[in-house]
Amino acid sequence: MSVEFEKAWEDRKSIAQAWKNNGGKVVGTFNSLIPEELICAAGILPIEIISLDKSIANSRKYLPEFLCPYLKDCLEQALAGDLEYLDGAAVSHACESLRGFYGVWRKNAGLPEPFFLQIPATAGEGAKHYFILELRLFGKYLEGIAGKPITTDALHRAIEEANENRQMLKRLYTAREQKGSPISGSDVVNVIKARLVLPIARHTDMLKEYLDRVDAAPVDAERDERVRLTIIGNCVLESAAVSQAAEEAGARIVADNLCYGLRLCWETVDDAGDPMDAIARHYLTKIPCPGKFPMETLANKLSDIVVKSGSEGMIWIIDKFCDPYLFQYPMLLDAIREKEIKLLSLEDGDIKNTGRLKLKLEAFVEMIQSDELVY
Ligand code: SF4
């Protein structure tokens, strides 16, 4: 049901090129903690750089072996000349690996100067004050690329546009949970992938049309019999493979917590007063990334999401060498054990090997159906 979104993702280079042909600029972002409202207010198209799961032979020469595959993959794309359309890049301080990666990218990616956005790990008043100063520096960087100032009106408009998109995405997430919903996990992944490369207003229009089609579609009663699962993880492409394997194993993905999934849309920016203040508040208090404190906040929010969606099991995708996600693991385990939710954890090796992934998913679904304990 979501082929137009899949097509937009495949056409991402031509979309960026068309934007540039019209005199626009394009900035790549790393992680959903980069406030895209600022980039849009500067009239720039933000494009999220994500792992494409290709060879990482060249980036290994520049990055330590113990860095996560996601960052190796991103540098590989730059070294291969696949990101030449970028006029800049914003690297967020979502974890310590990204901090080191920024320096390597800056020296070796062969692309215009990137910006490193410091993001406080806590959300108090002091942290917000500091973050606003950082956002102002980021704004200056973007103004340099755009060649024009970011006005307060443009910021309010960008917040409104992003909020409208979040509301549509939330409608999609809510519809997926409903009984007999025809929306599969793969449909949601396609919608999200398109969101990473399209101008936000265009994505919102496509999503409205898609949701109208979903509302008019007949109820799919067979899907109600399926085991309900939530996916938790980082990369949207890995979750695509897992969603498909889960559906083939007779399950149904009803919720997620992905960097660019639910974490992107669950809360809107409260645009009251100064827009910089509103953006800072939002990014410091939205559902956090695993590297943020207190760490229990994420574990508790995740277990609430899983319970609310009626999921019987949870699939946790862990990128190799990703410390923030691994640190979260014991806390999440405690939180979901209390709620008697079953957990399957998968690493990159499990996901790249199609046969192994299929077997693991089938076994997991069977264990839930037979009510066996899985941790
Ligand atoms: S959070 Fe994990 S996957 Fe993301 S950049 Fe950091 S180490 Fe890599």
The residue-averaged pLDDT of 146-170 equals: 97
Which protein residue has the closest C-alpha to ligand 1 atom 6? 95
The residue-averaged pLDDT of 59-63 equals: 93
Which protein residue has the closest C-alpha to ligand 1 atom 7? 322
Q: What is the pLDDT of residue 105?
A: 97
- pLDDT of 295 > 80? The answer is no
Q: What is the pLDDT of residue 320?
A: 85
Between the CA of 286 and the centroid of ligand 1 the distance, in Å, is: 18
Question: Is the bond into 69 cis (omega within 30 degrees of 0)?
Answer: no
Between the CA of 128 and the centroid of ligand 1 the distance, in Å, is: 23
- Select the more confidently predicted residue: 295 or 215: 215
Mean pLDDT, all residues of the chain = 91
Question: What is the value of pTM for the model shown?
Answer: 0.93
Q: What is the pLDDT of residue 287?
A: 82
> How do residues 198-208 score in pLDDT, each as one tens digit?
999 999 999 99
DSSP H or E run through 123? none
Which segment of 10-19, 73-82, 298-307 scores lowest on mean pLDDT? 298-307
Confidence of residue 375 (pLDDT cuts 50, 70, 90): low
- pLDDT of 373 > 80? The answer is no
Share of the chain above pLDDT 70, in %: 98
Between the CA of 274 and the centroid of ligand 1 the distance, in Å, is: 32
Contact present, 127 and 120 (Cβ < 8 Å):
yes
220 CB-contact burial (10 Å; exposed 0-12 / middle 13-18 / buried 19+): middle
Which segment of 91-100, 299-308, 310-319 scores lowest on mean pLDDT? 299-308
> How do residues 316-369 score in pLDDT, each as one tens digit?
988 888 888 888 888 888 888 888 889 999 987 888 889 999 999 999 999 999
The set of protein residues with a Cβ atom below 6 angstroms from ligand 1 is 68, 70-71, 94-95, 97-98, 234, 319, 322, 324-325
- pLDDT of 371 > 80? The answer is no
Name residues whose C-beta falls within 8 Å of residue 201's C-beta, 6 or more positions apart in sequence: 161, 165
Q: What is the pLDDT of residue 253?
A: 94
The residue-averaged pLDDT of 87-110 equals: 95
Q: Does the 12-147 domain belong in CATH 3.40.50.11890? A: yes
Q: What is the pLDDT of residue 374?
A: 54
> How do residues 114-151 score in pLDDT, each as one tens digit?
999 999 988 899 999 999 999 999 999 999 999 999 99
Buried-exposed string 345-359: b where 16+ CB fall within 10 A, e elsewhere: bbebebbeeeeebee
- pLDDT of 236 > 70? The answer is no
Look at residues 83, 51, 282 and name the one whose alpha carbon lies nearest to residue 166.
282
Pocket test for ligand 1, best of 92, 322, 325, 347 (most atoms within 8 A of CB): 322
Atom of ligand 1 minimally distant from the CA of 95: 6
